[in-house]
Chains A and B, each alone.
Chain A
Amino acid sequence: MRGETNRGESFWRRLARRRSLMQLASTLALNSYATQGTTRGIPCPALNCYACPAAAFACPIGAIQHLIGRRQVPLYVLGVIGLVGALVGRASCGWFCPFGWFQELMYKLPTPKLRLTNRFNWTRYVVLATLVIAVPLVTREPWFCKLCPTGSLQAGIPVVALDPLIRDAIGACYWIKMGILGIFLAWMSVTRRPFCRWVCPLGALWSPLNPVSSWRLQVDQESCIRCHRCQQVCPVDIAVYQDPNAGACIRCLKCMGVCPVNCISVNSLGWSVEASRSGDPGIP
């Protein structure tokens, strides 16, 4: 029995080691250009700017603002976000989000590092409530998009570089956006995933679903030796041994890779083949 569990864990560990390949593949797939005539109506499970000339899917946050601006309840987009969140929690942030991956790459730069606690990470809910919901509802303008550093990086810079007409038309708003991007570039080189932890409204939508998602982590508290290695490698700095399904967790599985006693495992809340065969719902 224990052998089976260990084989399972080694699969997840191996998968976690290839996470950057998944992030690369996701970035290419979300910006594959070819299918954008039809697939751009589908919100992608990541913060990927759909003003990017190569974007193949819609940005869920941009789509929410657009529908709210049209005085519609964004049922379709919230449904897609809710379905992804209910199935895998914030795993999309860790495995598919191009901007999340970019932040991880920036953090690898040889700069002094600053460790910040998650004490003020409620700020992403403020961003969600104001810039994504309230302000677009009143002004009918997608104000989060106007300030979003992902948009600056994926759309602002390439569009201005490629189109001389737009280059001639840029104004103060563009430079404000570039300034915000510059601040985040500096911040993400010294702190792990600052945009995900304190700003991202998509993460704010998914965070409450983490504790009830199908794909989840569990910690064997009896085996855990409280060595804190999981927290040391965690890209969002959570104490995995205390709350393995915390709202901030992006399911990157780095914690599994460093745990010296293998006390962290993945549970699928009743979706496993073995569970359905045996009639056991597989609830932890």
Chain B
Amino acid sequence: METAPISEPQPIASSRSRVTFLVNRALIVLAVAAILGGLLFDQWHMVLRNAILL
């Protein structure tokens, strides 16, 4: 079975790339935190109830 190859990782080229990497990881953490925060306010149920009523 063929695996999904990804382009070969390259060495760190510049500080801009490092910033992109850090921003990306920060965004992922923020997004997960936002999801958990929304769930804490029961927003999943609000969305579900609205969707079912449509």
* A interface residues (Cβ-Cβ under 8 A, vs B): 1, 4-5, 7-9, 11, 36-38, 40-43, 50-51, 55, 58, 62-63, 66-67, 70, 72, 74-83, 85-87, 155, 209, 211-214, 218, 265-275, 278, 280-284
Q: List 20 A-B contacts (CB under 8 A).
A: A1-B8, A8-B6, A41-B47, A50-B54, A58-B47, A62-B50, A63-B51, A75-B43, A80-B31, A80-B35, A86-B31, A209-B27, A212-B23, A213-B24, A269-B24, A270-B9, A280-B9, A280-B11, A283-B17, A284-B10
Q: How far is the CA of A40 from the CA of B41 in the complex (A)?
A: 17
Most chain A CB atoms below 10 A, which of B12, B21, B32:
B21
Q: How far is the CB of B39 from chain A (nearest CB, A)?
A: 6
The residue on B at minimum CB distance from A2 is: B8
Checking A58, A63, A75 against B34 with a beta-carbon cut-off of 8 angstroms, the contacting residue is A75
Is there contact, CB below 8 Å, between B5 and A7?
yes
Q: How far is the CA of A212 from the CA of B18 in the complex (A)?
A: 11
Is there contact, CB below 8 Å, between B2 and A11?
yes
Give the residues in chain B near A283, CB-CB below 8 Å.
Answer: 9-10, 12-13, 17-18, 20-21
Interface size on B, residues (CB 8 A): 40
**How many pairs of residues, A versus B, come closer than 8 Å at their CB atoms?**
153
Checking A38, A76, A87, A272 against B43 with a beta-carbon cut-off of 8 angstroms, the contacting residue is A76
Is there contact, CB below 8 Å, between A269 and B21?
yes
Checking A74, A80, A272 against B6 with a beta-carbon cut-off of 8 angstroms, the contacting residue is A272
Q: Which 4 A-B pairs have the closest CB atoms?
A: A76-B38, A41-B48, A79-B34, A282-B9
The residue on A at minimum CB distance from B33 is: A79
Is there contact, CB below 8 Å, between B32 and A77?
no
Is there contact, CB below 8 Å, between B32 and A266?
no
Q: How far is the CA of A55 from the CA of B7 in the complex (A)?
A: 36
Q: How far is the CA of A66 from the CA of B50 in the complex (A)?
A: 8
Give the residues in chain B near A213, CB-CB below 8 Å.
Answer: 24
Give the residues in chain A near B52, CB-CB below 8 Å.
Answer: 36-37, 40
Q: How far is the CA of A209 from the CA of B20 in the complex (A)?
A: 10
Contact A72-B7, Cβ < 8 Å, known A79-B38, A80-B35, A214-B24? no
Is there contact, CB below 8 Å, between A70 and B9?
no
The residue on A at minimum CB distance from B10 is: A284
Contact A58-B37, Cβ < 8 Å, known A86-B28, A281-B21? no
Checking B7, B24, B33, B50 against A266 with a beta-carbon cut-off of 8 angstroms, the contacting residue is B7
Q: How far is the CA of A99 from the CA of B38 in the complex (A)?
A: 27
Is there contact, CB below 8 Å, between B13 and A11?
no
Contact A268-B43, Cβ < 8 Å, known A78-B34, A86-B31? no
Most chain B CB atoms below 10 A, which of A5, A83, A275, A283:
A283
Contact A70-B46, Cβ < 8 Å, known A40-B52, A275-B9, A284-B10? yes
